[in-house]
Structure 1
Amino acid sequence: MAGPLPLPHAVALACMALAQVPARAQEAPVAEVVVTATRNAKSVDRIPGAVTVVSQRELETQYLLADDPSSALATYIPGYSPSRQKISSTGETLRGRLPLILLDGVPQSNPLRAGMREGYFADTAIIERIEVINGASAIQGMGATGGIVNYITKTPRLEGTTYAVHARLATGFRHDNLDWKTGFSVSHKSGEFDLFGYASVQRRGMAYDGDGRMIGIDALQGDTLDAGGHDVFLKLGRNFGDQRLQLTVNRFNFRGDLDYRTVNADFAQGTPTSSVPGRPPGNPARNDVRTVSLDYRHGALLGGSFSTQVFSQDFTALYGGSNTITFQDPRLAPPGRLFDQSEINADKYGAKVTWVRPDLLLRGLEWTLGLDHLRDRSGQRMALTNRTWVPTLDFTSTAPFLQLEYDAGPVTVRGGVRRESARLRVDTYTTLWAYGGFQVGGGERSFDKAVKNIGAVWRFAPGWSAFLSSSEGFGLPDVGLVLRGVNRPAQSVDDLFELQPVITRNQEIGVNWRGAHGSAGASFYDSRSKLGTVMRINAEGFGVMDRVPTTVRGWEVAGEWRPAPGYSLFGTYARTMGKTAASPGAPMDLALGARSQGPDKLVLGADWQPVARARLRLQATRLADRDINIGRSAGPINLEEHFRGYTLADIAGTWDTRLGRFGLGIENVADRQYIGYFPQSINLRDPLSYFAGRGRTFTASYTRSF
């Protein structure tokens, strides 16, 4: 576990009075910040918890450095672990647990079979802001044991029609090292009707580390290198007085080009995984995502506001091919000769209904009533041999909920309950030969659980507030991982202990301040699961899921100081301390590994507006050393991990002219050579995935509206 925060860093943080508040980069310093991820629009100073909003300006600046959603979250969200810089999000967590990812409220996460490819589902250019609810929550449904990340898409605000062209180029000025993306958008608003449309095409070349070596491609999980894709997005809205009807469609595709093959790392020489030209076998890894939602809102129904959303989301992720021992079957090919690749398919259909009524029965008492329904059919197959790896998981959930909020002067009290009534059906199937080729009896599991939340906010002085909260999240373990790993005869879905739900309780206390010259605050949390999940990789490379208790404690500070117009200093610090047990009933004396939590993280930076139309941003991220579980193991699985931290600095700027907006960014300004947090830390080092991070990379962007 990393040591205490160094004194200079602590002093810097104290001087900046850092805060876990979302108003850090708002144009109006004390403007009200409203979020919708709580199911109804709510000011943040009335929400008992740590809530962050990443603004469009912040996103545009970060995407100048890396066109990567997880990089933006790692920069702006204190408790979010470092980005993998890959299409795989394995090891990317929020406060040591997985968040529920949404696009305009539509779930993008696949908790039944978490293939960790759900982070790439839309072009970054369609995102207006990101709302993050930190800590376990059930308000948006299953899977938010670490919190909620809701991506809000753009909506026209101004009357008239605007067209825009967007272009982005990134390179380190080396061979086949050009990333480019071009897009076209139309924004139209006329009276009660509005439309926003966007289409883009992108192609990404290779990347190089600080030593000038080509970075290795993740051949098995898929990669953002040597890849390309496109996105088509359309949002149509029509207002009818107090009512609004809105249709949103997004179709996103991203796939590899198969122009490079992976070269093993040489641990003795300290050489990371790299790449050389050559076509690897198999079909290109890809993400193919379609999201459709129809929203209806009535602002004055029975004295309250009513909203409903009907949605569907189809997700397909094809992984790279290999002849790993997991895929072998001597009935199909000699041992070691069978090449295959897997594909996850997850189809979701659902509806959400919410009615908010203020001053019902009692003045100052707001009622929020709702009902959610979700149908999720997920599975995983071997794409080349058409074998079943994970049978079809047919999950149905119906969840009514009630949330109450009472304002008594400077105090707001919120509390509620959500009743999760779910059913999981699985047909009889046979595991792969590598697990024994056992037949597992199908069956049906039912889950019925009431998850609760309660909290209060006290606005005890102008600009100041303090909160205290306790909230629960409901989730299931990675059902697909459990079922595909059954390696004993005479097992049945009805009897598998590992399928019991995960209930996480998050308790938190914090203080916030927002003023004309900045914002400041801090929060401390304690998150516990009596029956949690810990993923471990054994010596054979098989994933093993243990159902053991997990506890994550941590504290976060973040904030901004604006000493003069056009200048601001900002920063965040997060310390995460996760604990678990080697086995059920054993002491809670093991630190959570890199698959579950990130290292201590410090982000500091400055914004400068030298002239009215220009902005410049300098930021640095420090990841602390982490050495855990020295000499410890869980059965045959070694749990020791070591991470040598590093500091990275970036710079980005934009300039608005009559010809359009020009942008320039430099990622890793010092051209630092480093190995990423996850590949450096995991106990079973794989020569095919010991990846270095990107070296110095230059980015230029251009946007022209007309």
Structure 2
Amino acid sequence: MNSKLLFLLPLFVLFTVNLNAQSLRLKIENESKKPVANASISSNNKIIGTTNLSGEASILNAEIENNTILISAPDFQSLSYIFTDLEEQNTVTIVLNKETQLDEVVITAGRKQENINTIPSSITIMSRKEIEQQSSINSNLSSILGNVIPGLGTATNKATNSGQTLRGRQVLVLLDGIPQSTPLMNGARDIRTIDANAIERIEVIKGATSIYGNGSGGGIINYITKKSPLNNSFQGVTTVGTTFNPLHSKETFGYRVSQFFNGRQDKFSYVLGGSYDATGLQRDAKGVALGQTDGLSNSYQANAFAKLGYDFTENTSLNLLYNFYGSTQEAKYISQAGVYGQAPTIGVRGTEPGKKAGTPYNHNFMLTFSKNNLFETTQLDVSAYLNSFQSMNRYVASASGWYGPGQTMINSDKKGIRINMNTPFTIASLSSEITYGIDVLNDVTFQDLVDGRVYIPKMNMVNIAPYAQLKMDVLENLIFKGGIRYENATVRVKDYNTLATGEGNAGSIFVEGGKIPYNATMFNAGLRFNKYEVFNPFVSFSQAFAINELGRILRRADENTIESLETDPIITNNYEAGFSSKFYNFNLTAAYYISTSKLGANLVDVGGYLVAQREPEKVHGYEITLDYRFSNKLNVGGSYSYVEGKAEFDDGSKVYLNGSRIAPPKATGFVTYKPTSDWNLQLSWVNTGCRDRFELNSSGRYNNSEGPISTVNLVNFAGSYSFNENWSLNLGVENLLNNYYYPTVSQYRALPAEYVLGSGMTTTLNLRYKF
């Protein structure tokens, strides 16, 4: 027995040494020697590990190509590390330097953490630094995104984001994955559903994608909320500020207060905070009060946010999120209608009848359980969420949709469960992984008048959608990504009567309700070759599913049964090719896309009513972004995006899609200058080009949303000065040159009531304290 043990002992030692030599333990720390958790470790653009709460990760030597790894972590500068004697090292400590920008890792595209250079899609990420910089100019998220994101329409200067499409199609807005949009009846208030101070980063995935379900024909905007610190600490940010028109200041003063706390104590973590924003009267460049149609003058926004987390182990955690957002207008001025194309609608002192317009409430609640080592390497995330949303439209004395005065409100209640798993594996020495799971969603949406009349009956949708997504290195540096999602949805509608459009219930018809079944299988596939940073190309095909504008179809029903209405879903096909390029300090991205659908939902003016046009559609366009860093002090860049689209009728004739769908060309530019470490200055420019595609109608007017669009140029300024580590002052100036202009929505809508000028020069001053 002893001789056998003596014989086996050297073999055991040799085996242990070889085993240890095959793996490497990394310890990632910050400059203060504190652990950096959730740092992504990749080699050759493939993620091979993630650090735990202790800042440690174990990786296989065989997965380290060319002895080089790249380490990325939120708020830290990415670091490329080269091993000298890889086989002789067991534990390596690496220090990361602080950085305010992170563009390496994206979550939304594949429902898991991925390196952006491995995804065959067009993606734009706004970091926390960029959000803070833009929100110092205007805290309205519609403006922030419209000024920065290529392919997204510019802001409307209203409380709604109507017409702010992405690549000519509707966008699905998410908050940590919770759907904020109401595709069954688009209320166009989904972009403004959270305060900018509660957001850590914004991920925009462009092009059709069904990865999160209904309504993403143009892409996804996902607000990633603030995270707690990774080590034991208590932190906070206090912001107070004011906004006003410096040239015509009377009644324009507004104020802003924001307070956020975050911290961690051992296994417990939290982020708590809120903000309150009061906007004064908005005036044009000449000092005249703006028209109040869905405006932001004298509006108030409130946000309350809480995120709690508990780590049972380094691999198992539970997180609870709650977010409330409300925005209503208490107008002290009312609109005095102008003449489209000649004189603007202006504001005159008065009181709006009816209830306060805006978003009375938007509640979000989510509970997430995560386990990183389910079945060894499988990661599990289970989320249950609730969203309750109400949108209040303004009171009107008369409307084309019903008889007499009225005021409508859209109500939407969603609850759902998402089960998502990710399993890495190897096929014939090819590194691969599969993401799979199931989404269950119940969406109840309806639109009533405040007097009790039913404008759109309750649409009760239950959607069950299993999916699977495969990612594989088919060749060295050639990454394939493909997936499938099966949509199985049923919308139930009870019997209802359409609203009367005249006296004595004239125009109202009875419609027999029932079930509307939807079944569709969505596919996506793409390739990305990422060997060379100087040219990193991709091609992709992706589909999206949408039961879009069903409410409009139901409320304008001209048949007596649901079955007789044209309620088929919109299946969007997106074909795209693009590339990214990095050469020294120069960065360039470009993409060309074609988006088609056999059915559309273009809203056209028919006898004064907006009716969904169901003809086939084709949208195409391209986007280019570039920037060049001359030095650590000076950086310049810009973007250009173009989109166009048409619908085709049965006789082969084609018509352009109107302005509510297709935005004019958009160009942006910026110059950022940091004379010292305490100063940060940026001058930015936004240009919307011309679009004139439609003729006057027989009455000598333009149809709704077919008005011509003229060029608009706006220049903005953002500057900040840090007194010390704790105190800083931020100055933002919107419309720095005090341009007298009409926003694109005022131009294409072609309605006198909405022919409203844009705001004149507006100054925002914020004092911030961090501890």
Q: TM-score, normalised by structure 1?
A: 0.90
Letter in 2 for 1:438: I
Q: Which residue of 562, 568, 571 corresponds with 1:493?
A: 562
Q: Is 2:163 aligned against 1:91? A: yes
Distance 1:451 1:93 in 2: 22
Matches within 5 A, 1:103-114: 103-114=175-186
Q: Is 2:238 aligned against 1:160? A: no
Determine helix, strand or coil for the equivalent of 1:626. Answer: coil
> Does structure 2 conserve the Cα–Cα contact (< 8 Å) formed by 1:360 and 1:367?
no
Letter in 2 for 1:367: I
- What is residue 20 of structure 1 aligned with on the other side? none
Distance 2:390 2:550 in 1: 17
> Does structure 2 conserve the Cα–Cα contact (< 8 Å) formed by 1:217 and 1:260?
yes
Q: Which residue of 373, 378, 381 corresponds with 2:448?
A: 381
Distance 2:103 2:494 in 1: 51
Q: Is 2:637 aligned against 1:562? A: no
Distance 1:246 1:640 in 2: 47
Q: Which residue of 275, 282, 285 corresponds with 2:357?
A: 285
Range that drifts further, 206-215 or 105-114: 206-215
Distance 2:706 2:292 in 1: 26
The structure with higher relative contact order (CA 8 Å, sep 6+) is 1
Relative to 1, partners in 2 of residues 1:286 and 1:75: Cα closer, same or farther, differing over 3 Å? closer
> Does structure 2 conserve the Cα–Cα contact (< 8 Å) formed by 1:168 and 1:180?
yes
Distance 1:605 1:29 in 2: 24
Q: Is 2:646 aligned against 1:579? A: yes
Q: Is 2:468 aligned against 1:402? A: yes
Matches within 5 A, 1:653-668: 653-658=719-724, 660-668=727-735
> Does structure 1 conserve the Cα–Cα contact (< 8 Å) formed by 2:382 and 2:420?
yes
RMSD: 2.0
What's the offset of the Cα at 1:163?
A: 2.5
What's the offset of the Cα at 1:413?
A: 0.2
> Does structure 2 conserve the Cα–Cα contact (< 8 Å) formed by 1:426 and 1:442?
yes
Distance 1:392 1:548 in 2: 26
Letter in 2 for 1:203: A
What's the offset of the Cα at 1:515?
A: 4.8
What's the offset of the Cα at 1:501?
A: 0.4
What's the offset of the Cα at 1:308?
A: 1.2
Relative to 1, partners in 2 of residues 1:169 and 1:476: Cα closer, same or farther, differing over 3 Å? same
Distance 1:368 1:632 in 2: 52
Structure showing greater Rg: 2
Relative to 1, partners in 2 of residues 1:640 and 1:586: Cα closer, same or farther, differing over 3 Å? farther
Letter in 1 for 2:679: A
- What is residue 514 of structure 1 aligned with on the other side? 582
Question: Deviation digits for residues 489-545 of structure 1, max 9, x if unmatched?
Answer: x52112212x100000000001111355131121100000111111012453x2111
Distance 1:386 1:41 in 2: 47
Distance 1:50 1:643 in 2: 27
Distance 1:515 1:653 in 2: 29
Determine helix, strand or coil for the equivalent of 2:652. Answer: coil
> Does structure 1 conserve the Cα–Cα contact (< 8 Å) formed by 2:416 and 2:442?
yes
- What is residue 205 of structure 1 aligned with on the other side? 280
Letter in 2 for 1:669: L
- What is residue 242 of structure 2 aligned with on the other side? 169
Q: Which residue of 428, 431, 444 corresponds with 1:364?
A: 431
> Does structure 2 conserve the Cα–Cα contact (< 8 Å) formed by 1:522 and 1:558?
yes
Distance 1:374 1:386 in 2: 28
Distance 2:453 2:675 in 1: 61
What's the offset of the Cα at 1:691?
A: 1.2
Q: Which residue of 536, 560, 578 corresponds with 1:465?
A: 536
- What is residue 53 of structure 2 aligned with on the other side? none
- What is residue 230 of structure 1 aligned with on the other side? 302
> Does structure 1 conserve the Cα–Cα contact (< 8 Å) formed by 2:303 and 2:323?
yes
Determine helix, strand or coil for the equivalent of 1:70. Answer: helix
Letter in 1 for 2:113: A
Q: Is 2:689 aligned against 1:617? A: no
Relative to 1, partners in 2 of residues 1:671 and 1:586: Cα closer, same or farther, differing over 3 Å? farther
- What is residue 426 of structure 1 aligned with on the other side? 493
Letter in 2 for 1:696: M
Range that drifts further, 204-213 or 309-318: 204-213
- What is residue 99 of structure 2 aligned with on the other side? none
What's the offset of the Cα at 1:476?
A: 1.1
Relative to 1, partners in 2 of residues 1:141 and 1:131: Cα closer, same or farther, differing over 3 Å? same
Distance 2:651 2:615 in 1: 9
Question: Deviation digits for residues 234-271 of structure 1, max 9, x if unmatched?
Answer: 00011222012100001111111132211111347x32
Question: Deviation digits for residues 367-410 of structure 1, max 9, x if unmatched?
Answer: 11110000000100011x20100000000000000111101321
Matches within 5 A, 1:595-610: 595-610=660-675
Q: Is 2:157 aligned against 1:82? A: no
Letter in 2 for 1:136: A
> Does structure 2 conserve the Cα–Cα contact (< 8 Å) formed by 1:132 and 1:150?
yes
Letter in 1 for 2:380: F
Question: Deviation digits for residues 424-467 of structure 1, max 9, x if unmatched?
Answer: 10000001001811011101011111000000001142453100
Letter in 2 for 1:366: E
Question: Deviation digits for residues 282-329 of structure 1, max 9, x if unmatched?
Answer: 111131100000111111111211111110000011111112233654
- What is residue 3 of structure 1 aligned with on the other side? none
Determine helix, strand or coil for the equivalent of 2:754. Answer: coil
Q: Which residue of 168, 172, 175 corresponds with 1:100?
A: 172
Q: Which residue of 382, 385, 406 corresponds with 1:308?
A: 382
Distance 2:611 2:103 in 1: 47
- What is residue 325 of structure 1 aligned with on the other side? 399
> Does structure 2 conserve the Cα–Cα contact (< 8 Å) formed by 1:579 and 1:588?
no
Relative to 1, partners in 2 of residues 1:360 and 1:377: Cα closer, same or farther, differing over 3 Å? farther
Letter in 2 for 1:562: R
- What is residue 122 of structure 1 aligned with on the other side? 194
Letter in 1 for 2:766: S
- What is residue 323 of structure 2 aligned with on the other side? 250
Q: Which residue of 594, 615, 619 corresponds with 1:526?
A: 594
Distance 2:436 2:629 in 1: 41
What's the offset of the Cα at 1:360?
A: 5.3
Q: How many residues get paired?
A: 661
Distance 1:200 1:491 in 2: 49
Q: Is 2:116 aligned against 1:44? A: yes
- What is residue 180 of structure 1 aligned with on the other side? 255
Distance 2:304 2:657 in 1: 40
> Does structure 1 conserve the Cα–Cα contact (< 8 Å) formed by 2:495 and 2:513?
yes
Letter in 2 for 1:156: S
Relative to 1, partners in 2 of residues 1:459 and 1:361: Cα closer, same or farther, differing over 3 Å? closer
Q: Is 2:407 aligned against 1:341? A: yes
Distance 1:101 1:212 in 2: 35
Question: Deviation digits for residues 82-140 of structure 1, max 9, x if unmatched?
Answer: 11011111111000001110000000000001111222211111011100100000011
Distance 2:466 2:362 in 1: 28
Letter in 2 for 1:86: K
Identity of aligned residues (%): 27
Q: Which runs of 5+ in 2 are unaligned?
A: 1-71, 80-101
Q: TM-score, normalised by structure 2?
A: 0.83
Relative to 1, partners in 2 of residues 1:131 and 1:257: Cα closer, same or farther, differing over 3 Å? same
Relative to 1, partners in 2 of residues 1:649 and 1:637: Cα closer, same or farther, differing over 3 Å? closer
- What is residue 505 of structure 1 aligned with on the other side? 573
Determine helix, strand or coil for the equivalent of 1:199. Answer: strand
Range that drifts further, 649-658 or 92-101: 649-658
> Does structure 2 conserve the Cα–Cα contact (< 8 Å) formed by 1:170 and 1:700?
yes
Range that drifts further, 412-421 or 562-571: 562-571
- What is residue 457 of structure 2 aligned with on the other side? 391
What's the offset of the Cα at 1:150?
A: 0.2
Range that drifts further, 127-136 or 686-695: 686-695
- What is residue 82 of structure 2 aligned with on the other side? none
What's the offset of the Cα at 1:637?
A: 8.2
Determine helix, strand or coil for the equivalent of 1:482. Answer: helix
Distance 2:386 2:534 in 1: 41
> Does structure 1 conserve the Cα–Cα contact (< 8 Å) formed by 2:694 and 2:708?
no
> Does structure 1 conserve the Cα–Cα contact (< 8 Å) formed by 2:290 and 2:345?
yes
